[in-house]
Amino acid sequence: MASNTVRAAVQTGPGAIELRDLPRPRTGDDDGLLRIEANGLCGSDLETFHGRVPMRGGYPVVPGHEPLGIIEEIGDAAAERWGVQPGDRVALEVLVPCRACLLCLSGRYMSCKHRKATHGYTPVDRAPGLWGGLAGYVYLHPNAVLHKVRGDLPPEIAVMYNPLGAGVRWTSHLGQVGLGDTVLILGAGQRGILSAAAAKAAGAGTVIMTGLASDAHKLALAREFGADHTIVVDEEDTVARVTEITDGELADVVLEMTPLAAQPLDDALRAVRHGGRIVVAGLKGGTKIPLDSDLVVNKALTLVGAYGVDSRGYAEAIRILESGRFPFARLHTHTFELADTVKALNVLAGEVPGEQAVHVAVRPAG
Ligand SMILES: [Zn+2]
Ligand SMILES: [Zn+2]
């Protein structure tokens, strides 16, 4: 007999998360319920947890925007539409779009202004309340976008569909990385490392990655994920090293993925070749940073803002994960139970002495 309640991590305000039992949603012909196997955590979760980025819809809210799970309940109409059955494993996209506005109809549903929900951000007072991945179950709205994932991958790896999806979209789609290209990735977080893998999967010839001296463990991992060269930015000059590595040809594509820092954007402008592309993915916390626009003109550069990931990015990422081409298990460093969500966030933030986190996931079922 199924319980009438679902255990969830509920954020009640900045810095405050507690466990609560929320009503289990009733599902019908056109919706469903996903039993969460794992929910990945990323830098955005840290920003919203501490309140540096507000929960736009207000509190309380079940956080978690990177859910992976098993279909527990599914209505006939929903099963037909999504092509899934109970027991199937799926990855759930962040946005629940309206599927009717011009942005949705033209493929830009990630920018939909009439979205039905945003997983991990929609508050619990919007029925049926279970909108986040940090819970035993998440509600599958009729408009939800989901992707089947092979059931034999470990959940900690399958849940990497989210950061690898970002790597695929930013590197291959927005960066247009082609065969033999030199790709410079500024920033060695989980997305940076997985972007190295995505670049190699797209045919990049040379991948160069930067990081801080304190990122030594991440730079070492990056080499296992396709980085041919690594640059320690507090010890070496990025542009000089890229010039040396490429024999003066510079990078075809640069991904700028560092949080808050201003220098990397300038490095990107100087380390990219004439006619090259720069994908800007690192948020600077609202700070306006100087930009040498003459370089953009004189080098005929293309700058692209990396907002979100789309279905094609996720689908290609899932295929790369299923291929086993890269040692994904090496990237996963920590698994936590739901009750330890705050600790999981602190470990991800690097605030727990002795713990070197790269990829962190919460597994509600333990
Ligand atoms: Zn995330
Ligand atoms: Zn829409």
Q: How far is the CA of 60 from the centre of ligand 1 (A)?
A: 19
**324 burial type by CB count under 10 A (0-12 exposed, 13-18 middle, 19+ buried):** exposed
Ligand 2 centroid from CA 364, angstroms: 31
Q: What does the pLDDT read at residue 260? A: 82
pLDDT beneath 70: ranges in the chain: 1-2, 366
- Residue 95 CA, ligand 2 centroid: distance in Å: 10
The reply to whether the predicted model has a pTM over 0.85 is: yes
pLDDT, tens digit, 9 for 90 and up, residues 8-46? 999 999 999 999 999 999 999 999 999 999 999 999 999
Which residues, chain by chain, have CB under 5 Å from ion ligand 1? 42, 44, 66
What is the Å distance from ligand 2's center to 62 Cα?
A: 23
| Nearest ligand to the CA atom of 114 | 2
Could you write out the three-class secondary structure of 261-290?
A: CCHHHHHHHHHEEEEEEEEECCCCCCCCCC
Question: Ligand 2: distance of its center to the CA of 91 in Å?
Answer: 21
Q: For residues 61 and 121, is the Cβ–Cβ distance under 8 A? A: yes
Name the closest ligand to CA 119.
1
Distance in Å, CA 94 to ligand 2 centroid: 14
How many Å lie between the centroid of ligand 1 and the Cα of residue 125? 23
Which of 177, 175, 171, 147 is closest to 161 using CA atoms? 147
Protein residues placing their CB within 5 Å of the ion ligand 2:
97-98, 101, 104, 112, 114
pLDDT of residue 229: 98
**Residue 356 contacts residue 217 (beta carbons within 8 Å):** yes
User: Ligand 1 mean position to 268 CA, how many Å?
Assistant: 24
Alpha carbon of 289 to ligand 2 centroid (Å): 32
CA proximity to 279, closest of 202, 173, 162, 205: 173
Ligand nearest to the CA of residue 361, numbered in listed order: 1
* Nearest-ligand number for the alpha carbon of 115: 2
Structural domains present in the chain: 5-148+327-362 (3.90.180.10), 163-305 (3.40.50.720)
User: 365 C-alpha to center of ligand 1: Å?
Assistant: 20
Ligand of minimum distance to the alpha carbon of 104 = 2
From the CA of 116, which ligand is nearest?
Answer: 2
